[in-house]
Amino acid sequence: MEEIVCSVIVPMYNEEDVIAETYSRLTRVMENFGESYEIIFINDGSKDRTREMLLEICKADTRVKLIDFARNFGHQVAITAGMDYAAGQCMVIIDGDLQDPPELIPDMVRLWREGNDVVYGKRISRQGETFFKKMTAKVFYRLLNKLTDVDIPVDTGDFRLIDRRVCEALKQLPERSRYVRGLMSWVGFKQVAIEFERNERFAGQTKYPFKKMLKLAMDGIMSFSYKPLKISSYLGTILSFFSFLYFIFVLLQKIFFPHTTQSGWASLIAVSLFFNGIILLMLGIIGEYIGRIYDEARGRPLYIISELKNMEDREGPRYKINKTR
Ligand code: UDP
Ligand code: MG
């Protein structure tokens, strides 16, 4: 097999408006840089012309590879598949919408050559994103840091270069709810930041609606911390302590002032609603963890591939695809 220095991994979901531009900008940067490279596109079950357009590019340029998913498995799974099939000594994960500047890749590779295993892009500014997105991201990264013991750098997305060794380490982590940047912090190695300004999306809409953002956030927190469970039990302890005090108070009232305890419907309802709310919340938190345990226990493959292009001979680490036609 040919020696490849750098694999560029690009997830694509309904990105027909940006593919041509992404491909040409990536290629220009890599050509000028002069290191051997490959570009791995992952079509994450797009419903538009993404797949056809990527196949077209693959036909014209064999340095471009395609992993075509059987359906939409999500961004984090897509980059995992990219890493599973990448052949490079190092690999760069980059968004397909040109929000992460490809021009940064040569600098990343240089830092890697200097002996760093992970070079992660740190966003010093974010353009063209809503106030809501920036706010939630900011709060989330800080909350995650507070909740977890793993030191996950703040304001850092998936745009980064990793060494082959890091990739091999990641392949040994079998979990299904994947928060990839957290897993990368967890495996460790020598990490260095490179700052960049996050651009506006080249075209199209964000593929991360609020629901997906929430899922990513939950995955991040739940797979790196069980503090939500701890907080529930602390809260439970504190509340039962105060309930007990109130119980004593009510009891004494009943004994010494039997006639003043008649009224109290409002307080009864208030207490009942409050406690039921708390109980449901705690059950929900436990349920989230149980759901994740169930997911892991079933042990289904992380993704299903319908087609590989320009790298049909490569074997993914998890399972093989059988060619029928
Ligand atoms: N993406 C994906 N599968 C998904 C959602 C997104 O492969 O289910 C890709 C998308 O095509 C893009 C990258 O992940 O290349 C980041 O998505 P997006 O730019 O929409 O997220 P944002 O930058 O708005 O957070
Ligand atoms: Mg984007």
Q: What is the pLDDT of residue 111?
A: 92
pLDDT at 172 over 70: yes
> Atom 24 of ligand 1 has which residue's CA nearest to it?
206
Cβ of 45 below 6 Å from ligand 1: no
Ligand 1 nearest-atom number relative to CA 11: 7
pLDDT at residue 116 in the model: 92
- Take residue 301 and report the two structure tokens written for it: 């493959």
Which tokens in the block code for residue 182? 């957290």
- At 37 the pLDDT is 92
Q: Is the CB of 74 under 6 A from ligand 1?
A: yes
Token pair for residue 199? 């651009």
Main-chain phi, psi angles of 196, to 5 degrees = -155, 160
| 3-class SS of residue 47 | coil
Q: Look at residue 36 and tell me whether its pLDDT is greater than 60.
A: yes
Q: Are strands 90-93 and 305-309 parallel, antiparallel or unpaired?
A: unpaired
Is the pLDDT assigned to residue 318 strictly greater than 60?
no
Strands ordered across the beta sheet of 64-69: 191-198, 118-126, 156-163, 90-93, 6-12, 37-43, 64-69, 305-309
Instruction: State the Cα–Cα distance between residues 157 and 101, nearest whole angstrom.
Output: 13
Q: Are 12 and 96 in contact (CB under 8 A)?
A: yes
Query: Which ligand neighbours the alpha carbon of 15 most closely?
Result: 1
Q: How do residues 21-32 score in pLDDT, each as one tens digit? A: 999 999 999 989
Domain-by-domain residue ranges, the chain? 6-225+301-309, 227-298
pLDDT of residue 317: 64
Give the nearest ligand 1 atom to 213 CA. Answer: 25
8 Å CB contact between 180 and 258: no
Give yes or no for residue 96 CB within 6 A of ligand 1: yes
Q: What is the per-residue pLDDT across 216-263, written as a single tens digit (0 to 9) for each? A: 888 888 888 888 888 888 988 998 888 888 888 888 888 888 776 566
Mean pLDDT along residues 27-52: 92
Atom of ligand 1 nearest to the CA of 72: 8
Element (H, E) at 163: strand 156-163
pLDDT of 321:
52
- Residue 239 Cα, ligand 1 centroid: separation in angstroms? 42
Residue range 87-136, pLDDT digits in tens: 999 999 999 988 889 999 999 999 999 999 999 988 887 777 778 888 88
> Does 280 have pLDDT greater than 60?
yes
| Ligand 1 pocket, mutate which of 40, 97, 99, 214 (most atoms under 8 A from CB) | 97
Distance CA 214, CA 132 (A): 13
The tokens for 292 are 């994740």
- pLDDT at residue 322 tops 60: no
Bridge partners, residue 192, by sequence: 119
Amino acid letter for position 239: L
Question: So what's the pLDDT on residue 323?
Answer: 53
- Is the pLDDT at 320 greater than 70? The verdict is no
Section 144-170 average pLDDT: 87
The answer to whether residue 69 scores a pLDDT higher than 70 is yes
Ligand 1 midpoint to CA 217 (Å): 15
Ligand 1 pocket member 12 (CB < 6 A): yes
Ligand 1 site, residue 140, Cβ cutoff 6 A: no
CATH architecture of 6-225+301-309: Alpha-Beta Complex (3.90)
Q: What percent of the chain has pLDDT over 70?
A: 95
Q: How far is the CA of 151 from the centre of ligand 1 (A)?
A: 24
Residue with tokens 């991360």: 208
User: How sure is the predictor about 76, in pLDDT bands with cuts at 50, 70 and 90?
Assistant: very high
Percent of the chain's residues with pLDDT above 90: 34
Query: Residue 10 pLDDT > 90, yes or no?
Result: yes
